């Protein structure tokens, strides 16, 4: 019996019992759908992170205190206060591959305007921050070098803070209070949008780092330095120059551990991408378990089906069906079932990934449905059919025709 | 020397049921020639069905030899037996044994699904077979839409599909009323006389037995009488 004929016979047998066929493949549909949805959410998260990093610029470097060896932030030799603003100035002036630096001092605080208040992140930065971070103003201006030197009480709002405190009112020129100190609003950042979904990048206020240091926190060190290299190609060179310079400035003996860490954007981006990859793999594996269960469901139903059709198998054998014919017929039924389930599951999974956008909490999550995951899911569901359908098919083919015909 | 279509020598069949051995057939020998119409009779448990199963290549004897068209069947494997069932033998059962929820045409076509015949030829032959048993026009009725007599006719048409040399019928009229049973007998008569198909029928039906050319009576696995 050739392949086409076997398929037609199997299809015929399956359509005789549509409800049962559907219930059988429900497991596969859910399994494949879940895998596709999980993977596309994971891929979307990865892409979101990639996009975010790309929008920040690939010539970005970060200098932070503490050595790299310990994964936490403020441990290791040097502790948390080893960076000073003079370091940032020196880097900008003396490292040829460096274009701008912007020291960073952050804290959280309550911000008040009129009868509204809002808890947000206060980012103390240098004057070149918008250039380094490629972040434009929606209105107003950023503070300049002079204001930084003077530790002026000025600030720039992120679009989310602007919405919360001012709603539709124009904030430029207004006074807001942070820890009871009055600050004049100079401008509002353009909205960066939320890709990645875990925190809102527009929920912050920028002010001169000197202001944050002296007037709000009372410290004399800086928490990190944002650095932009002259070009993407020069990023590695810039990294080396910064490291050499700081070792000299911090008087670190050759071979001794650094009390700072320089990271370039590419590294960080890669690290984030890797961890999302792991998360995607993890989610996908969990979803695959349901695929396994779906396969067991198929085996179950095929066994029941074989038992129910013992008489029919006997009839087929009596008119000349050989073991191979019966085996192929039932195996084909299992494979058709699982492939059908796979196809519907793929549609279900793709639909689910699109549907995610309609759920408010997840609205910002990107999803990416890749062709390779679809193909993989299809092949996988096919092999589930082969694997789990084989045992029942074999059982059917080994029946004795006489006993099969006698079966009630 | 006339060459018998079927010949068995010293055929024995022993079943093991748990600890006990059941001797279904005890050393039977007989020959059947082409064009014969043979009736096998006897009480239940006499070994009639066992003999039929062996003749029909559904089962193998424990000992003894069975020749079909000169070929020794007793030593063939399952797949070869299936081949012979497909090409040379047609079965008709007491309970019709049609596929449920399937049309008459599809039921009749079944044997040719398992041989290398194109679907066009298969359908043609099936339609012919159905016409020859008087069911022209009922091809697309499903099994549950056919009466007992019609179902048996479909079964006969199916048995005829591959132009077999031999048709075996196990109590073909057992589930039918006497009028329908007589119709079936008519079909059998026609097949035997016009087409010269050999018929071996296990039956309690005296009309069939009387019409048959020869009869053998079985009891306890042995032939106790033949005529």
Annotate chain B with three-state secondary structure. CCCCCEEEEEEEEEEEECCEEEEEEEEEEEEECCCCEEEEECCCCCCHHHHHHHHCCCCCCCEEEEEECCEECCCCCHHHHHHHHHHHEEEECCCCCCCCCCEHHHHHHHHHHCCCCCHHHHHHHHHHHHHHCCCCCCCCCEHHHCCHHHHHHHHHHHHHCCCCCEEEEECCCCCCCHHHHHHHHHHHHHHHHHCCCEEEEECCCHHHHHHCCEEEEEECCEEEEEC
> What string of pLDDT tens digits covers the 408 residues of chain A?
567 777 888 888 788 778 888 888 888 888 888 888 888 888 877 777 777 777 766 788 888 888 765 544 444 445 678 888 888 889 889 888 889 899 999 999 999 998 888 999 999 998 989 888 888 899 999 999 999 999 899 999 998 889 888 888 899 999 999 988 999 999 999 887 654 455 678 889 999 999 888 888 888 888 989 898 888 778 888 888 998 998 888 888 888 888 888 888 777 777 888 888 888 888 888 878 888 888 888 888 888 889 988 999 999 999 989 999 999 998 988 888 888 888 999 899 888 888 877 765 665 566 777 788 888 888 888 888 898 889 999 999 999 998 898 887
- Chain A residues with beta carbon closer than 8 angstroms to that of B111: 319-320
Mean of the per-residue pLDDT values of chain B:
89
Residue A224 token pair: 């990190």
Pick the residue from chain A with its C-alpha nearest to B118: A5
Give the nearest partner residue to B59 out of A321, A325, A402, using CB atoms. A402
CA distance A280 to A275: 9
Per-residue model confidence (pLDDT) at position A74: 44
CB spacing of B114 vs A405 below 8 angstroms: no
Residue A317: predicted pLDDT? 93
Please state the ipTM of this predicted complex.
0.91
Substitution target from B114, B118, B170 for chain A, most A beta carbons within 10 A = B114
Of B58, B83, B162, the CB nearest to A402: B58
pTM: 0.69
* Cross-strand partners of B225: B217
Contact B5, B68 (CB under 8 A): yes
| A13, A320, A404: best to mutate for the B interface, most B CBs within 10 A | A320
Residue of A nearest to B161 (CA): A319
Tell me the shortest Cα–Cα distance from B1 to chain A, in angstroms.
Answer: 32
Inter-chain contact B158–A319, Cβ cutoff 8 Å?
Answer: yes
Residues in chain A: 408
Q: Does A321 touch chain B (CB under 8 A)?
A: yes
pLDDT of residue B92: 93
What pLDDT is recorded for position B201? 93
CB count, 10 Å around CB of A20?
A: 14
B98 pLDDT band, cuts 50/70/90, is very high
Percent pLDDT > 90 in chain B is: 34
> Tens digits of per-residue pLDDT, B110-131?
998 888 888 888 899 999 999 9
Asked if the C-beta of A402 comes within 8 angstroms of chain B's C-beta atoms, the answer is yes
Residue A406 touches chain B, beta carbons under 8 Å: no
Output the pLDDT for position A364: 56
- The reply to whether A323 touches chain B by the CB within 8 Å rule is yes
Contact flag B101-A322 (C-beta cutoff 8 Å): no
| Closest C-alpha among A105, A107, A111, A108 to residue A181 | A111
């Amino acid at each position: 019996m050739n392949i086409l004929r076997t398929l037609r016979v199997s299809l015929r047998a399956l359509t005789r019992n549509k409800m049962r066929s559907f219930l059988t493949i429900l497991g596969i549909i859910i399994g494949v759908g879940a895998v596709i949805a999980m993977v596309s959410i994971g891929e979307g998260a990865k892409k979101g992170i990639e996009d975010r990093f790309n929008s920040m610029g690939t010539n970005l470097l970060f200098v932070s205190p503490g050595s790299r060896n310990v994964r936490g932030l403020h441990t290791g030799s040097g502790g948390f206060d080893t960076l000073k603003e003079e370091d940032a100035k020196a880097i900008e002036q003396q490292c040829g591959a460096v274009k701008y630096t912007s020291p960073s001092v952050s804290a959280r605080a309550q911000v008040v305007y009129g009868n509204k208040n809002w808890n947000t992140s206060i980012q103390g930065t240098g004057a070149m921050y918008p250039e380094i971070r490629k972040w434009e103003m929606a209105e107003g201006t950023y503070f300049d070098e002079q204001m930084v030197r003077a530790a002026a009480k000025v600030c720039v709002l992120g679009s989310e803070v602007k919405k919360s405190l001012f709603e539709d009112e124009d904030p430029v020129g207004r006074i807001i209070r942070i820890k009871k100190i009055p600050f004049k609003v100079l401008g509002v950042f353009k909205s960066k949008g939320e890709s990645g979904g875990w925190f809102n990048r527009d929920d912050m206020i920028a002010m001169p780092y000197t202001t944050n240091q002296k007037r709000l926190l009372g410290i004399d060190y800086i928490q990190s330095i944002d650095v932009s290299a002259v070009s993407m190609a020069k990023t590695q060179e810039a990294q080396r120059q910064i490291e050499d310079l700081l070792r000299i400035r911090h008087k670190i003996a050759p071979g001794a551990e650094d009390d700072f860490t320089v990271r370039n954007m590419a590294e960080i981006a890669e690290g984030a991408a890797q961890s999302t990859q792991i998360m995607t793999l993890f989610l996908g594996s969990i979803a695959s378990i349901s695929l396994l269960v779906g396969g067991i469901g198929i085996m179950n139903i095929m066994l029941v089906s074989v038992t129910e059709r013992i008489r029919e198998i006997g009839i087929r054998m009596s008119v000349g069906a050989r073991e191979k014919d019966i085996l192929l017929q039932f195996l084909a039924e299992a494979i058709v079932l699982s492939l059908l389930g796979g196809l519907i599951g793929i549609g279900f999974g793709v639909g689910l990934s699109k549907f995610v956008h309609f759920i408010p909490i997840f609205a910002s999550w990107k999803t990416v449905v890749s062709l390779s995951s679809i193909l993989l899911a299809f092949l996988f569901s096919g092999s589930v059919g082969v694997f789990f359908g084989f045992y029942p098919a074999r059982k059917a083919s080994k029946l004795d025709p006489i006993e099969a015909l006698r079966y009630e | 020397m006339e060459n018998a279509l079927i010949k068995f020598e010293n055929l024995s069949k022993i079943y093991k049921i748990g600890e006990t051995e059941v001797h279904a057939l005890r050393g039977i020998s007989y020959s059947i020639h082409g064009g014969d119409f043979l009736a096998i009779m006897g009480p239940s448990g006499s070994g009639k069905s066992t003999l039929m199963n062996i003749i029909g290549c559904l089962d193998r004897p424990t000992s003894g030899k069975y020749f079909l068209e000169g070929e020794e069947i007793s030593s063939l494997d399952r797949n070869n037996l299936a081949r012979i069932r497909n090409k040379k033998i047609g079965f008709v059962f007491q309970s019709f044994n049609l596929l449920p929820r399937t049309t008459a045409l599809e039921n009749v076509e079944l044997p040719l699904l398992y041989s290398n015949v194109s679907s066009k030829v298969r359908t043609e032959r099936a339609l012919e077979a159905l016409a020859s048993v008087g069911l022209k026009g009922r091809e697309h009725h499903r099994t549950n839409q056919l009466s007992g007599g019609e179902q048996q006719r479909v079964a006969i048409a199916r048995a005829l599909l591959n132009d077999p040399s031999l048709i075996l019928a196990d109590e073909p009229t057992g589930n039918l009323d006497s009028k329908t049973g007589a119709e079936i007998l008519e079909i059998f008569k026609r097949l035997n006389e016009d087409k010269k198909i050999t018929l071996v029928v296990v039956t309690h039906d005296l009309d069939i037995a009387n019409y048959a050319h020869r009869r053998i009576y079985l009891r306890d696995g042995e032939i106790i009488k033949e005529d």
